[in-house]
Structure 1
Amino acid sequence: MEETVGRAFRATIQLGKTVALSFVTLLYLPVLVFTVIGTAVLLGAGALPETVLLQRRIAGVKRRMVAEATGEPIDEAYPPITGPLPARLRTALKDPGTYRDLSWLALHAVFGWVVFVALIVLWYFGLMVDGFWSGTLGRRPYVLPLIERLAAFDASWSRALLAPSPEARRAAELSRRVEQLTETRAGAVAAHGAELRRIERDLHDGTQARLVALSMRVGMARRAYDSDPDLARRLLDDAQDQAEEALAELRHVVRGIHPPILTDRGLVGAVRALAAGSGLAVTVTDEGLETPADGPDASNGGRAGVRAPAAVEAAAYFVVAEALTNAAKHSGSPVAAVRLARTPRGLAVLVRDEGRGGADERGGSGLVGIRRRVAALDGTVDVSSPTGGPTVIEVELPCVW
């Protein structure tokens, strides 16, 4: 009997939460009525999306309660209510989940008080009438297991109404995907704009300045050619130096757009070159990737096999370059490791250093640039950098091999 009482008591706690939430739903109903009337007269339409969001939060509380009681979570599949007021109104009114939640709220407001009365009756007949005070418990223990059945019924009917329909799942997934792609596009546009500004700055402050100086040297040398040949020769020598420096600046700009080493050596070779010049002891491993061979067939790897698309290779190269630069500047570790792997979904890149950790994307460490570059290709970035290290950056870039 004691075990039966214990189970009934736990079920009563669960049902007590249902009663408390039912009181909350009763408080919500006047808000809903006010919103409906305000929307009908076009004066309170702005309150409708907020009311629907409140309704979602109340339903979310019940989902968590059912998940806690049964161990089986109930998914949410709501399209986000964002944007200007007309768009928010359309989303709130067209979402099937709005009406499923509303049906649940109406039933729950009544069901909670039915539960309240049922609990009083069941506990009375299960304990008081059976002789709780006289010590003769156990003559009718079947009354108390009814509380467990009531709790199970509460969870089952709530799950039936609060679980999203397949159509709602698809609509919510599509909405989330559109929102994600919108954010990705914004990040890609920002990254593209920053790259254009960098190229413009490099050309203006570097190459253009050197070409202007070169033009001046040549002009001065031409004027001094007849009167002072030695001065003209020195000016021409300076002009040659300026021309070589301008060429070096142009090569630097071109490498920033698309590193030629990727075309010449492939991703693995380019990353090994990065590792050699990073100032760290870097171990580079690759799985299933091709490195171009020398010769006329270098564009396709020089042997059987395919490479990732150029945009994917360029993004992976940028990730490794930025990560190794961060490691050299901030980690304090003399060693790092890079892993490149071909996966069923695309290209996986992992960069790890054994430094002090604590990498913060808000601190200008270049992680934001990595995320934007990867997001433009619909890839994923996972950064783990606990205090004390290690720092691990994992990137997956989707592509078709």
Structure 2
Amino acid sequence: MKETVRRAGLATAQLGKGAGLALLSYLFMGLILFTAVVTLLVVGASVLPETVLLLRRTAGCKRRLVAGWTGEPVPEAYLPLTGGVRDRVSAAVQDPSTWRDLRWLFVHFVYGWILLYVALPLWAVGVLVDGVWCGLLGRRAVVLPLIGRLADLDARWSRPLLLPSPEAQRTADLAERVEELTVTRAGAVAAHGAELRRIERDLHDGTQARLVSLSMRVGLARRAYDKDPEAAKKLLDDAQDQVEEALTELRHVVRGIHPPILTDRGLVGAVRALAASSGLDVTVREDGVESDSGPRAPAAVEAAAYFVVAEALTNAAKHSGSERAFVELSRVGRVLRVAVRDEGRGGADDAGGSGLLGMRRRVAALDGTVEVSSPAGGPTVIEVELPCAW
């Protein structure tokens, strides 16, 4: 009985909030009529977008009430009211969700009060009948549970009225997708710029400096060749060493752009080579990524996956304190999945200079996702999904 009374109280509060919104709906009707009149008279047309925003907040409040009662969220989808007055008025009028909210507003004004008016007398009847029914006869309450059903009915009627239309949902999804791609593009541009600056720095500080020094030594060797052959020979030996060092640095730069090992061995072979040279005991598992009969993933996808593994293993070797790591490459439908795990101390984050931000940008540029789990004490798990056409 105590639980029945508690739920009936919650249901009454739910219906009371709905009735309060119904009263607000009544006030809204007058405001909407006023807004329509002044808009038709071309006086205060800017009132319309503000009224629509207030309507959205009211409908949003009801969505939260319904979601709180049922445990299921009620989605919303609105066109943004931005720009000048003309643009905002046009967006407010053309948004299908505005008219759906208005429909809910007028209908809710009716059933919001009716349900509360039905619930209040049930308290008096329920306390009397259920008190006798439960207290004397030991039966279950029959009247007070009806109040909870009224709150269920309110949610059942409100949900379809508050749901966005399919057209509005598609428009909202498209706008969200455009915003997401805008952010992704900005990240990709930033990552590309950082990569170009790194390549320029490597070439300028490393390879170019060695080539300049090489040119000077060759010039000195030419001058000394006739007078001091031994000195010229030593200069040429030094020049040869610098040529080899310059070639090594050039290979390093090239590997930073697109590792040749990917072309030679494929993704799985390249990752196994990374694992062998990482300084850790790395176990590599592969599931359907490469086969003799099937096509390989696109070069950009393979490169992104390779750099994710390289960055993750480098971080594990430097920061985790672990001696072991696990790499898993798998193909699920049209998605390449990469998972790297170490049993180290954990605590990896984007702001820690661990290269995770660059990793996210590189993956986001291909419309992929990165999930990082690294609680204090470990383990650290990096999971990446890269969509691709196989």
Q: TM-score, normalising length from structure 1?
A: 0.82
CA positional deviation for 1:346? 1.9
Distance in 2 (CA, whole Å) between partners of 1:34 and 1:250 is 73
CA positional deviation for 1:352? 0.2
Q: Return 5+ residue gaps in structure 2 as ranges.
A: none
Deviations 1:207-229 (A, max 9, x none): 11111111111122222223332
Which range moved further: 383-392 or 225-234?
Answer: 225-234
CA positional deviation for 1:146? 5.8
Q: Return 5+ residue gaps in structure 1 as ranges.
A: 291-300
Is it true that 1:371 corresponds to 2:382 in the alignment? Answer: no
Please tell me the residue identity of whatever aligns with 1:365: S
Distance in 1 (CA, whole Å) between partners of 2:81 and 2:198 is 34
Aligned match of 1:318 in 307, 316, 322?
307
Distance in 1 (CA, whole Å) between partners of 2:256 and 2:18 is 61
Corresponding residue of 1:309: 298
Corresponding residue of 1:390: 379
Please tell me the residue identity of whatever aligns with 1:343: V
Equivalent residues of 2:63, 2:162 under 8 A apart: yes
RMSD in angstroms over aligned alpha carbons? 3.6
Distance in 2 (CA, whole Å) between partners of 1:348 and 1:390 is 19
CA positional deviation for 1:385? 1.0
Q: What is the 5 A alignment of 1:161-240?
A: 161-240=161-240
Please tell me the residue identity of whatever aligns with 2:250: L
Equivalent residues of 1:131, 1:137 under 8 A apart: no
Corresponding residue of 1:102: 102
Equivalent residues of 2:49, 2:81 under 8 A apart: no
Corresponding residue of 1:337: 326
Partner secondary structure for residue 340 of structure 1: strand
Please tell me the residue identity of whatever aligns with 1:67: A
Partner secondary structure for residue 349 of structure 1: strand
Deviations 1:183-229 (A, max 9, x none): 22221111111111111111111111111111111122222223332
Corresponding residue of 1:297: none
Which range moved further: 341-350 or 235-244?
Answer: 235-244
Shift of the 258–162 alpha-carbon distance from structure 1 to 2, 3 Å rule, reads same
Deviations 1:150-209 (A, max 9, x none): 434322221121012222222222222222222222211111111111111111111111
Equivalent residues of 2:130, 2:144 under 8 A apart: no
Equivalent residues of 2:81, 2:92 under 8 A apart: no
Please tell me the residue identity of whatever aligns with 1:264: D
Deviations 1:88-109 (A, max 9, x none): 6665443312221233234445
Equivalent residues of 1:127, 1:137 under 8 A apart: no
Distance in 1 (CA, whole Å) between partners of 2:289 and 2:163 is 44
Equivalent residues of 1:122, 1:144 under 8 A apart: yes
Partner secondary structure for residue 337 of structure 2: strand
Shift of the 94–361 alpha-carbon distance from structure 1 to 2, 3 Å rule, reads farther
Distance in 2 (CA, whole Å) between partners of 1:267 and 1:287 is 12
Q: Percent identity?
A: 66
Partner secondary structure for residue 316 of structure 2: helix
Deviations 1:241-283 (A, max 9, x none): 2221111111111111100001111111111111111111111
Shift of the 5–334 alpha-carbon distance from structure 1 to 2, 3 Å rule, reads closer
Corresponding residue of 2:257: 257
CA positional deviation for 1:124? 4.8
Corresponding residue of 1:11: 11
Please tell me the residue identity of whatever aligns with 2:174: L
Distance in 1 (CA, whole Å) between partners of 2:208 and 2:270 is 29
CA positional deviation for 1:321? 0.5
Please tell me the residue identity of whatever aligns with 2:360: R
Corresponding residue of 2:243: 243
Corresponding residue of 2:341: 352
Distance in 2 (CA, whole Å) between partners of 1:201 and 1:317 is 22
Partner secondary structure for residue 400 of structure 1: coil
Corresponding residue of 2:49: 48
Q: TM-score, normalising length from structure 2?
A: 0.84
CA positional deviation for 1:23? 5.4
Partner secondary structure for residue 293 of structure 2: coil
Distance in 2 (CA, whole Å) between partners of 1:364 and 1:30 is 58
